[in-house]
A = this chain, B = another copy of it.
Amino acid sequence: METLQKLYKHLEKIYHFNSVVSLLSWDQETYMPERAFEHRSQQMGLMASLIHQLKTTELQEILKDINLNELQRRDFLIVKRVKQDLDKWSKIPEKLAVQLTEVTSQAQYYWDKAKKNDDFDTFAPYLEKIVSLKIEEAHCLGFEQNPYDALLEDYEKGLKASDFEKVIRPIVEEFYQKKSNSVLTTNPFKCTIPAYEQLKFANQFIQDLGFDFRRGRQDISSHPFSNAISIHDIRITTRIMEEDLQYMLYSTIHETGHALYEMGLNTELLGTPYSETCSLTIHESQSRFWENNIGRSLPFCKFLASKLQEYLPQYFSEVSPEALFYTLNEVKPNFIRTESDEVTYHLHIALRFELERDLVNQVIQVKDLPTLWKEKMQSYLGIIPPNDSLGVLQDVHWSAGLIGYFPTYSLGSFYAAQIYSHLKSLYPDFDFHIEKGNFDFIHQWLKENIFSKGRMFYSHEILQQATGNPLLPNAFKDYITSKLELV
């Protein structure tokens, strides 16, 4: 079909332009000189305007000639999803898309500055602008009760604020009440290792996990992220604290989880849902799976111990896997979300969820955030961050316009637990393989059962197909319970 080919060619064109935007963004967070930020935001704005036209008017023109009923199954699934995309994209006026791109590009510069100087006021006016544009976006997209739902939907189809309040939140709170006391141990990660040695180690180690450096790279940035510039160009970043290897390492493993997903996608029909990631929930299920379910397990600690001895013998002539395991699983409130254990982590999400929901509903204002943050930290975690850099300014997300993203970390963790439990039941020698650093069978299974589905199905459909079950919150409960019994 000629029109179908035309559609695929058009989507591939959008894909390449999106790649360009991804590079502009990656560069801004890693290597761009500081004074370049104003122009970068204009470059991003122009690209956004260009892409918006390709994704709306021009796409519509091509789609109107395609009859869904005449298509083969794969094409049918793709075109169905693209038609839905078009409906959604067409609701956002070009001006809004451009403004959001420009403001978030600027905001990330001011957020970084604000975080470094512990000065929320530098960032506040940009966040105010972002919140107001996101509210506008929510109204353009439409919602039944809560404008925040429209934003959640952008990251996970069908997710509603009320789901988080009713289903996820209680589980998280229940576990926090039940948390066991950790076994006291010496933290083996605490020793001073120069940044360049840490980065070298990290690059060796993630290669062992399956990261392909011919198709990706790792750099340093203010806040770790993964950015799939294109299918063969997947970049992650980390951050380093010379006196604590864990700070870098578990952030790196998290981002590697994201990268392995991108590296395992179908490489045909680029720019179509056939070769795209499904959702942020599935994405976070992958990063959280490697960071936590695999990464904080005892068999993995045995593997890690052997690699620390191999790659960093001057610092780890001897290291106990058990000491790594206990250190990595200590349940203890932390100011920083990304450094938190698997239990308290979700209280960080709950806090952000509530603040986002209330901002978008205009119940609270940006200027109230620092105070509210501290109050909620005190109430949920019993600790108060000494400054905003360790509090409300810690995450990049809001500056990037990612309002509604955080709940997918919790939902993704639930997915990860279910996938982990399913894999363990499929492979009786699972732990043995992890201990030996043999991850190929996992890559294989994930690729076949999750990655290859692209974005042709919804997250919950893929989970059902892959594990034979809908989302079972008990999988997460059971996983945490058995871990808390161990530590």
Contact = CB atoms under 8 A, between A and B. Distances in A.
B232 A35 contact: yes
A36 B233 contact: yes
Interface of A: 13, 16-17, 19-20, 23-24, 27, 31-36, 38-40, 42-43, 46-47, 50, 196, 213-217, 219, 229-235
B214 A35 contact: yes
B39 A20 contact: no
Given A214-B33, A217-B31, A39 B196 contact: no
Contacts of A50: 50
How many chain copies does the complex carry?
2
A32 B219 CA distance: 12
Nearest to A232: B35
A36 B229 contact: yes
Given A27-B27, A196-B196, A19 B43 contact: yes
B16 A42 contact: yes
A36 B196 contact: no
A39 B32 CA distance: 22
B20 A233 contact: no
A42 B219 CA distance: 25
Interface majority SS (helix, strand, loop, mixed), chain A: helix
A233 B35 contact: yes
Contact of A16 (B39, B214, B231): B39
A196 B200 CA distance: 14
A218 to B, nearest CB: 10
Nearest to A230: B39
Top 8 closest pairs, chain A to chain B, by CB: A36-B233, A35-B232, A39-B230, A35-B214, A35-B215, A36-B232, A16-B43, A16-B46
Given A17-B46, A23-B27, A46-B16, A213 B39 contact: no
Contact of A13 (B46, B230, B232): B46
A371 to B, nearest CB: 34
Contacts of A31: 31, 217, 219
A214 B38 CA distance: 13
Contacts of A38: 232
B196 A33 contact: no
B231 A33 contact: no
A277 to B, nearest CB: 17
Nearest to A45: B16
A220 to B, nearest CB: 12
A300 to B, nearest CB: 26
Contacts of A234: 33
9 contacts: A16-B39, A20-B43, A27-B27, A31-B217, A33-B235, A36-B229, A36-B232, A40-B233, A196-B196
A217 B16 contact: no
Nearest to A21: B20
A43 B232 CA distance: 13
Contacts of A17: 43, 46
A50 B47 CA distance: 11
B217 A39 contact: no
